[in-house]
Amino acid sequence: MRADTFRVVSTAALAGLLLVGCGTGTSSESSAPTDAASTTTSAGAPASSAPSGAAAADADTTTADSLDVVVNKQNPLDPADYTPDPLVAIEGQQLRGDAAEALETMLEDMRAEDITVSVTSAYRSYDTQVSTYDHWVQQNGQVTADRISARPGYSEHQTGLAVDLADGSGCDLQVCFSKTRAAQWAADNAFEYGFVLRFPEGKESITGYAYEPWHFRYIGRDQAEQFHASGAKTLEEFYGTGAAADYIS
């Protein structure tokens, strides 16, 4: 699909979406409460630290607008209030143009196979994350908030490269989403469109977040295919950036 089929989001539309987002809680890196992040694998044993990377040595994992940027509890965005430009509208949400184009194609292919799928969250601004994080701190205290919500400037959704999928089955933004056709198809095929599952099961002590079978991150098709072929399960492993279970301070 041609990039010019996407509409650049106007300032007014963006403001409206931010108002909506400010009223929506985020669990881990997503839009609704789930279990707090664990620090063990699904078998109960501590997860291993991230190994050396399989990605190209020149991958830029620190620049905010890089497709390779790794955002986690050890690596905040710089600047903290970074905003992707341009953002485009897709499925009632916003993404960077390259990610939106790839996602549009992926969703079309899923629906062509009669798979029900929708987008429940994508880009979230710094200001939205401030409101979201403050909500969880006020409700649960900072220690708990840090386990279930990204601090402002530390959210991957702020890059405009992350998307949360849903299917309306009653398991949206829950671990049981992994049993749905949408989740299983995406887990098997998303790399062909440039997306990877960002927070896999059993890798909580590396990513810093609990298993999220709905959360996919765009890194571009070439890198996603390398990621898939390498056997890496997390971006931290693929890029060799190290584990990020906790904030630096």
For 20, the token pair is 């909506």
Q: Is the pLDDT of residue 28 over 80?
A: no
pLDDT of residue 158: 98
Categorize the per-residue pLDDT at 141 as very low, low, confident or very high, splitting at 50, 70 and 90.
very high
The domain spans of the chain are: 3-34+55-239
Angle between helices 126-140 and 11-22 (to 10 degrees): 10
Q: What is the pLDDT of residues 109-130, one digit of tens each?
A: 999 999 999 999 999 999 999 9
For 121, the token pair is 């969250």
Q: Check: CB of residue 224 under 8 Å from CB of residue 190.
A: yes
Q: Is 5 exposed, middle or buried (0-12, 13-18, 19+ CB in 10 A)?
A: exposed
Q: What is the mean pLDDT of residues 158-173?
A: 98
Work out the end-to-end distance of the chain between its first and last CA atoms, rounded to an integer number of angstroms.
Answer: 44
pLDDT of residue 54: 76
Residue 121 main-chain phi, psi, to 5 deg: -160, 150
Q: Is the pLDDT of residue 12 over 90?
A: no
pLDDT of residue 172: 98
Q: Is 115 exposed, middle or buried (0-12, 13-18, 19+ CB in 10 A)?
A: middle
Rounded-to-integer distance, Cα 209 and Cα 93, Å: 23
Q: Which architecture does CATH list for 3-34+55-239?
A: 2-Layer Sandwich (3.30)
HSE, CB side, 13 Å, CA atoms: give it for residue 82: 24
